[in-house]
Structures are given as structure tokens and as C-alpha cells.
A = this chain, B = another copy of it.
Amino acid sequence: MDYFKTRRTIRRYSDRPLSDELIADMLDKAIHAPTCGSMQLYSVVVTRSDEGKSALAPAHFNQPCLTGAQAVLTFCADFNRFTRWCEQRGADPGFDNVQSFISAALDATILAQQFVTIAEMNGLGTCYLGTTSWNAPMIIDALSLPELVVPVITVTVGYPAESPEVQPRLPVSAFIHTEKYNPNSSERIDSMYGEFENLPANRAYVTENKKDSLAHVFTDVRYPREANEHFSHIFTEMLRKAGFLAEKA
């Protein structure tokens, strides 16, 4: 069980080849993860070619872990396949709505995490690209995703060429609540975040960015309000175009 406490994200990969068969075999294991109502509301687009990676790179702000990966897996919420099946059998599918998108997005994320665990237990390194939901329209174009298919999370994978430290986490008491939510009082906030703020790497971010606190690094540099709101508008319009916000008058 040691794996779970020592795992870490790997962003640099070696030249050691990763076969299509191993990727398919790991996905074949991962699909036994739980799925909403046995519907398997996901698809995975596997990008291995240099052209394919180049087409995806701008959507992920040209992060080097993408172009350097042996494979890039885009996990998509997919109600297209299920809807086509229902139509083909003469049934009336009604999955062009937010709730159906949420079900499919959870399915895709559960599958992605199961794949990550299996890959890492096989000695591979992985990195999630959260930029997937920010630039979903660019990814939809690059991968020719049809309606009711939305990219949710991307995983880069390859054999590790680095061995970073295990990343620190907040104490488990910060996020476990017993029976009811325990409000985040000022005292609890200070006690939860104190150690995190004092990590040498985090102190360095504050100095480098000339900010008052680590929190300012997050709000002013990494995830500023304007960017979050900009990508929220893009996301909502993408959902509408993908057919998940169909309004029935």
C-alpha cells in the first residue's frame, strides 16, 4: 500500500517506448472502475503522433510535459455514443442537459484516475493537464469531437525521467468533517495553512513574485479572477455548442 503515500506527478519522460498494446491493456483494466448506471459515458482519444501533439499543445499553453510524453490521453465526457445507440433502437434519448453532462464528466474523471493509478503501478509516470476545461473548444477542434462529447481532463504518460519529492498536502483534519461541515474559522485556517505557507518552495514563490503572501501568488499570478471568469464564459459557450445546454421551451 506504500504506493499511495509516495506517488507524485511526473512531468519529464524518458525515451523508453510505451506500446499501444500496453495503453489499451491498462484502459481495459480501468474500465472496471465504477460508471454511472453501467453507461460508460466516456471516450479516450489517444494522441501519439508529433502532429497530433502539436495540434493539442496550444490548448495546454505548450506545457513541455505534453510534447515530451510518450502518449497524451484526452478523457472526454461522451453522451454521443449512448445517444446514437438509443436513436438507432428507436428510443428517445434526453441527455442534452447539464445533469447528463455532470454524470458523464464524473464518469470520465473516475476512468482517468483509475488509469493513472494503473499506469503508475506499472512504473509509468503521469501528469494531469487541468487546462483541458479551459481551452476545451480548441481541443474539440483538434480531436474532431462531435456533439455531446466534451474533453474533461488530459493525462500525459511515459516512463519517468525525473524523481521529484512527494508533494506536501494539507493535514487530513483540514478536509474531513464529521457528520456536519465544520466551518473554516480564522483559527482553523491559520492552523491548516501554516505549514504549507512555510515550505521553502512556497516561501520562494512569494519572494520571486514580490507578493505579500502565498495566497496572493494564487489570486494574482496563478488563478486571477479575470482568467477564471474568461475561461468560465468559454466553458459555458462550449457546453452550449456541444449540445449540453439545449433549452426545451
Flag whether A200 is at the interface (Cβ < 8 A).
no
Flag whether A179 is at the interface (Cβ < 8 A).
yes
Let me know if A109 and B99 touch, CB within 8 A: no
Taking CB as reference atom, which chain B residue is nearest A166? B32
Given contacts A5-B32, A143-B180, A212-B90, contact A170 B128 (CB under 8 A): no
- A interface residues (Cβ-Cβ under 8 A, vs B): 1, 4-9, 24, 27-40, 42-49, 52, 78, 80-82, 84-86, 88-95, 97-100, 102-103, 105-106, 109-110, 112-114, 116-118, 121-122, 126, 128, 130, 133-134, 143-146, 149, 152-153, 166-167, 169-170, 172, 174-181, 183-184, 186, 189-190, 192-193, 212-216, 218-220, 222-226, 228-229, 231-232, 235-236, 248
Choice from B82, B99, B214 contacting A134 with Cβ under 8 Å:
B99
Let me know if A85 and B172 touch, CB within 8 A: no
For residue A185, give the distance in angstroms from its CB to the closest CB of chain B.
9
Let me know if B110 and A130 touch, CB within 8 A: no
Let me know if A183 and B146 touch, CB within 8 A: yes
Enumerate chain B residues within 8 angstroms of A226, measured Cβ to Cβ: 94
Choice from B34, B81, B98, B174 contacting A235 with Cβ under 8 Å:
B98
Let me know if A193 and B85 touch, CB within 8 A: yes
Let me know if B179 and A219 touch, CB within 8 A: no
Let me know if B113 and A109 touch, CB within 8 A: yes
Enumerate chain B residues within 8 angstroms of A106, measured Cβ to Cβ: 105, 109, 130, 133, 152-153
